[in-house]
Chain A
Amino acid sequence: MSNKEIFRMLEKDAKLTPEQIAAMTGSSVAEVSHVIKQAEDDRAIIKYKALINWDKVGNEHVWALVEVKITPQREVGFDAIAERIYKFDEARTVYLMSGTYDLAVVVEGRTMREVAEFVTHKLAPIEGVTGTVSHFVLRRYKEDGEIFDAKEESKRQAVIL
């Protein structure tokens, strides 16, 4: 068993217990627990969280992918402005990009107005931000490798020799 194998298993299903992982990899519970604890301490495992389909819960959420252009700063490049942005709770995901813009920011809010206000009042005015283009998400089909409305059904025969 390699540590990477444990991480891959947890990345697919964070609810797996050390006992389950130990049984599935042929290692001891103590060994698995130790690897997990170490990874948690090192923040190699950052967090365990659920992927929620908010549409099913009847809870309206709005997401926008915001392209942000910034002027890099001496010494720190893009990092300082990125930090100013990612510290806002509304910025759910922040990537530095190659191409025609610099940062891709996924902004989440309860309404379009909330998202728009964040962009216009908080994000765009940051010093060094030279422009933003907001794209509202119309539908989430797949996230983190998971399809939201999986339509496939398995119809295996009960016995096949």
Chain B
Amino acid sequence: MTTIRPVSPSGKPIISQRVNSIAPSGIRKFFDLLASMKDVISLGVGEPDYTTPWNIREAAIYSLERGRTMYTSNLGMPELRRELSRHLEQRCGLHYDPDDELLITVGVSEALDLAMRATIDPGDEVIMGAPCYVAYPASVILSSGTPVIIPTYESDCFEIDSSKVEATVTANSKAILSGYPANPTGAVLPREKMLQIADVARRHDLLVMSDEIYSQLVYGIEHTCFASLPGMQERTILLGGFSKAYAMTGWRIGYAAGPREIIAAMTKIHQHTIMCAPTMAQIAALEALRDSSGSVEEMVADYNHRRQMFVKGLRDIGLSCFEPKGAFYAFPNISITGMNSETFAEKLLAEEKVAAVPGTAFGECGEDYVRCCYATSVPELEEALVRIKHFVDKHR
């Protein structure tokens, strides 16, 4: 492995300060250990255990056979944008003009990056709750902005509190980044709380970037699209994708929906850096929107069974576990073992061959928690619970 020196022979720094300022993952040691082990039950994944429904794969295969291998419009195929517009109208009651208010991206990750780069100037602050998805603070930093982190707690169901958001607002505040249903906690923000956040955004003239990648994976609760709240569509960038609901993670296909000026700015960056999302993946996404609601329903019902069984299992072991209402993660509190979350995860892996992600990977306030993904088979979840129980009993 080549090690790059931090400075060139003439003394110039090689890596940009911006990139250097992104903290390296504190759990490298854990990943290395995991890579060296066999027969591990991994609850560390962040994707469905389903393969993409066959009708979607078949549509993409057919498109390749027909030779549909060229670029599409920068914005994405018009028929996909039209279908997406219909889909958002149906699911959220929102109208987005397929001609200039929708942009098809390389996963929701690109959409997030574009949203930041299109709107954030150096020094601008973006307010977000934590524990949160690792790319949230990083995407702000890469746009030379400043992430402003508001810790959320199990006692508050990991819901971000509008009064705390308001207290962090400064003259530099530009946007609120909301990520519900949440990775890693599985929390879903109730509509009343969203309305309070919306009120803060309106009064302080803040943009809202709403990552709703898990919006179709909710259990016993309705998802509210942030942009559907009164007066919010004009200041919200809705970020969505196909990865989670349609089990399409590897296709890398997502979208942004928002005010046309912002979408135009995002498209400018997109056309210089990406050109267009992969054509094959766009065709697959079109099929997903047209004819996959049955598969999604079935997968959601299955996740729900596993969610209930796994959370109950964790609680029976004696771990306090907030009831996740969305996504496919459980976020148990492991403080009864007296270990911090990194030590817990490392020892659980070494002693029981179960991989879970330390909560601190998602922010300092993730201390005392681990993220367990229950998108794995029931027998594996049952075995994981047996091993976790053995581990907790030994160390509590």
Contacts and interface: CB of A to CB of B under 8 A. Distances in A.
A154 interface: yes
B308 A156 contact: no
Contacts of B40: 158
Counting chain A CB atoms within 10 Å of each CB, the highest count among B40, B46, B133 belongs to B46
A25 B305 contact: yes
B134 interface: yes
B391 to A, nearest CB: 18
Contacts of A158: 34-35, 40, 42, 44-45, 355
A161 B133 contact: yes
Given A24-B309, A161-B133, A156 B45 contact: yes
Nearest to B44: A159
B86 interface: no
Interface string A116-159: 00000000000000000000000000000000000010101111
B45 A160 contact: yes
B52 to A, nearest CB: 11
B357 A161 contact: yes
B361 interface: yes
Contacts of B378: 20, 24
Interface in B42-64: 42, 44-47, 49, 51
A145 to B, nearest CB: 11
Interface residues of A, number: 16
A160 B47 CA distance: 8
Nearest to A27: B308
Contact of A159 (B133, B312, B313, B357): B357
A158 B301 CA distance: 24
Contacts of A25: 305, 308
Contacts of A112: none
Contacts of A152: 51
Interface string B179-209: 0000000000000000000000000000000
B31 interface: yes
A9 interface: yes
A39 interface: no
A43 to B, nearest CB: 25
A161 B358 CA distance: 10
B308 A157 contact: no
